[in-house]
């Protein structure tokens, strides 16, 4: 079965029911189906065939959904691109994925016009569940990002698991404010909506000043967020928070660690215990706290059905409960490999188990807790940042001799990047450096501070000791 077959339950059986609220208008499932059929015809008319790639650089919108669904229906591989990316970041993704079309705001009016004149129904494209549905670029540990190939089955298994695990049904009202270009909103958000046939209100983005008003207006029962969103929601006045809490059924958090204190403060304010879960672009969702039963602060819960997890030490031996090691995963949710990167795919797996790079431990009663990461990945507001990418950019600047970037704890965003710079002789104008970062890198990757140091702390092998960077700046 492909995703269209799964979505048809909502498209056919609920065709007259409200499906999507977008910018004040409401669309039925039948309308969503027809809009994407028209878009699919428009893409076919442009020569799109099964297996071609379409890259999309758009903020959340109904057009995003139309184009995604059109790709699914045609077997075209969808490549969502982070709209905060700049030229430098885009050029790699485009040259690597070789899309037949790169859809930006500029391209959209023409596509919309071409779709308007097309028929509302569409013949089925023969596609099996192992066909690639999307290529999602991860921020690469080696500096270049890699396209994770997610199949129709990967998305389908994930959505069915989440519907069961989190009791999502057509009676839910779902508020989605996460960016659709990431797997959190795409794999969990869109797919849970379409699989369950619930009513979804989509926001262009999460704006913390307007969030409470949006909740009160839409009265959702279901919300998915990153920890930064929950930290922001803690500013809600107590009466409003209680009112929001009364109508809600479930708040889910993921993409970065949810501090236990935030879980506790949120429970007091909204009267709900946030359900924390763990996922990755390459695997979609893996581990989740239970719907019934203890949602343990600081823990991500139990493996979802069909997901096998094991924790290995440096020698590849399974560790006893309570001890930490690297988390490995296996299951029908795990991606099909990296696009055109056989070497990277080979090294991502050991005996068929995917190496997550996350360090975890399991308690004797089966709860998993994430304890950190093997790489020096920084997660800021739920967006991933690999320091190496920023360091490489900084080192290309004429006034920089050496640079190291590390994460610094931040109450709102979890972590923020900070740059330590060794200048190439003389002074270093950090304001000018910052301006160049802003021009060339996504905003969340721009170091929040630039600290000029005489030298970087290195070990005997010459490797920068990131944990000593703070002291080097004294
Ligand atoms: C943030 N910014 C944006 C957006 N979000 N710009 C345009 N569109 C957006 N959607 C920029 C702002 O311009 C600003 O840049 C900076 O990011 C911080 O935004 P701010 O307004 O101060 O918002 P905030 O209150 O700090 O909250 C940010 C946020 C955002 C809304 C929480 O970070 C966000 O939407 N994060 C979700 C990321 C996500 O979905 N990750 C999932 C990946 P400036 O600094 O220049 O002012 S992980 C994943 O998918 C796996 C599978 C998993 O486990 O889920
Ligand atoms: P991405 O590659 O963007 O999909 O990000 C995946 C990474 O986000 C994981 O490898 C984890 O390090 C992190 N992550 C996701 N969910 C959680 C969570 N609940 N707690 C801690 N880290 C998380």
| pLDDT given at position 216 | 98
- Ligand 1, residues at Cβ distance < 6 Å: 59, 83-84, 178-179, 182-185, 205-206, 208, 226, 228-229, 232, 254-255, 279-281, 381-383, 412-413, 443-444
Tell me how far the alpha carbon of residue 443 lies from the centroid of ligand 1, in angstroms.
Answer: 9
Least distant ligand from the CA of 137: 2
Tell me how far the alpha carbon of residue 381 lies from the centroid of ligand 1, in angstroms.
Answer: 5
Considering only the top CATH level, what class is 274-373? mainly beta
Q: What string of pLDDT tens digits covers the 474 residues of the chain? A: 999 999 999 999 999 999 999 999 999 999 999 999 999 999 999 999 999 999 999 999 999 999 999 999 999 999 999 999 999 889 999 999 999 999 999 999 999 999 999 999 999 999 999 999 999 999 755 557 899 999 999 999 999 999 999 999 999 999 999 999 999 999 999 999 999 999 999 999 999 999 999 999 999 999 999 999 999 999 999 999 999 999 999 999 999 999 999 999 999 999 999 999 999 999 999 999 999 999 999 999 999 999 999 999 999 999 999 999 999 999 999 999 999 999 999 999 999 999 999 999 999 999 999 998 888 899 999 999 999 889 989 989 999 988 999 999 999 999 999 999 999 987 889 999 999 999 999 999 999 999 999 999 988 777 888 888 887 777
Least distant ligand from the CA of 277: 2
Tell me how far the alpha carbon of residue 248 lies from the centroid of ligand 2, in angstroms.
Answer: 25
100 lines ligand 2 (CB under 6 A): no
The 3-class SS string of the chain reads CCHHHHHHHHHHHCCCCEEEEECCEEEEHHHHHHHHHHHHHHHHHCCCCCCCEEEECCCCCHHHHHHHHHHHHHCCEEEECCCCCCHHHHHHHHHHHCCCEEECCCCHHHHHHHHHCCCCCCCCCCCCCCCEEEEEEECCCCCCCEEEEEEHHHHHHHHHHHHHHCCCCCCCEEEECCCCCCHHHHHHHHHHHHHHCCEEEECCCCCHHHHHHHHHHHCCCEEEECHHHHHHHCCCCHHHHHHHHHHCCEEEECCCCCCHHHHHHHHHHHCCCCEEEEEECCCEEEEECCCCCCCCCCCCEEECCCCEEEEECCCCCECCCCCCEEEEEECCCCCCCECCCHHHHHHHEECCEEEEEEEEEECCCCCEEEEEECCCCEEECCEEECHHHHHHHHHCCCCEEEEEEEEEEECCCEEEEEEEEEECCCCCCHHHHHHHHHHHCCHHHCCCEEEECCCCCECCCCCECHHHHHHHCC
370 lines ligand 2 (CB under 6 A): yes
Domain boundaries, the chain: 3-205, 274-373, 377-472
| pLDDT given at position 349 | 97
| pLDDT given at position 3 | 98
Least distant ligand from the CA of 374: 2
| pLDDT given at position 374 | 82
CATH of the domain spanning 377-472: 3.30.300.30
| pLDDT given at position 471 | 79
| pLDDT given at position 189 | 98
| pLDDT given at position 156 | 98
Q: 3-205 domain in CATH 3.20.20.140?
A: no
- Using the atom order of ligand 1, give the atom closest to the CA of residue 283: 52
| pLDDT given at position 470 | 81
Residue of 226, 277, 278, 355 with the most ligand 2 atoms within 8 Å of its CB, for mutation: 278
């Amino acid at each position: 079965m492909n995703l269209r077959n799964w979505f048809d339950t909502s498209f056919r059986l609920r065709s007259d029911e409200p499906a999507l609220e977008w910018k004040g208008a409401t669309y039925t499932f039948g309308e969503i189906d027809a809009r994407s059929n028209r878009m699919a015809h428009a893409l076919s008319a442009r020569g799109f065939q099964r297996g071609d790639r379409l890259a999309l650089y758009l903020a959340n919108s109904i057009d995003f959904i139309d184009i995604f669904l059109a790709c699914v229906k045609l077997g075209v591989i969808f490549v969502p691109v982070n709209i905060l990316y700049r030229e430098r970041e885009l050029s790699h993704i485009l040259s690597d994925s070789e899309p037949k079309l790169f859809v930006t705001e500029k391209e959209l009016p023409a596509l919309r016009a071409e779709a308007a004149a097309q028929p509302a129904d569409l013949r089925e494209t023969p596609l099996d569940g192992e066909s690639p549905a999307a290529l999602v670029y991860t921020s690469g540990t080696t500096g270049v990002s890699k396209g994770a190939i997610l199949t129709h089955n990967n998305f389908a298994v994930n959505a069915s698991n989440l519907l069961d695990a989190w009791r999502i049904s057509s009676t839910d009202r779902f508020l989605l404010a996460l960016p659709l270009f990431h797997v959190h909103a795409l794999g969990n958000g869109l797919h849970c909506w379409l699989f369950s046939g619930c009513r979804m209100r989509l926001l262009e983005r999460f704006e913390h000043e307007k969030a409470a008003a949006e909740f009160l207006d839409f009265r959702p029962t279901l919300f998915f967020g990153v920890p930064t969103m929950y930290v922001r929601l803690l500013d809600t006045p107590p009466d409003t928070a209680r009112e929001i809490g009364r109508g809600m059924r479930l708040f889910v958090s993921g993409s970065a660690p949810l501090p236990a204190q935030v879980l506790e403060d949120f429970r007091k304010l909204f009267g709900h215990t946030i359900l924390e879960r763990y996922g990755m672009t390459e695997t979609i969702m893996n581990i989740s706290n239970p719907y019934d039963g203890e949602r343990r602060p600081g823990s991500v819960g139990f493996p979802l059905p069909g997901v096998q997890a094991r924790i290995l030490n440096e020698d590849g031996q399974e560790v006893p409960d309570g001890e930490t090691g690297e988390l490995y995963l296996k299951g029908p949710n795990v991606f099909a490999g990296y696009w055109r990167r056989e070497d990277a795919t080979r090294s991502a797996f050991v005996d068929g188990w995917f190496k997550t790079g996350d360090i975890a431990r399991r308690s004797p009663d089966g709860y998993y807790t994430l304890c950190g990461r093997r790489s020096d990945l920084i997660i800021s507001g739920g967006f991933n940042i690999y320091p190496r990418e920023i360091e490489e950019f900084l080192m290309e600047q004429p006034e920089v001799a050496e640079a190291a970037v590390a994460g610094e704890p931040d109450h709102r965003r979890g972590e923020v990047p900070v740059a330590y710079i060794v200048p190439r002789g003389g002074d270093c104008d950090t304001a000018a450096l910052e301006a160049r970062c802003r021009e060339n890198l996504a905003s969340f990757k721009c170091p929040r501070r630039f600290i000029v140091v005489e030298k970087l702390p290195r070990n005997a092998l010459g490797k920068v000791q990131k944990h000593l960077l703070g002291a080097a700046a004294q």
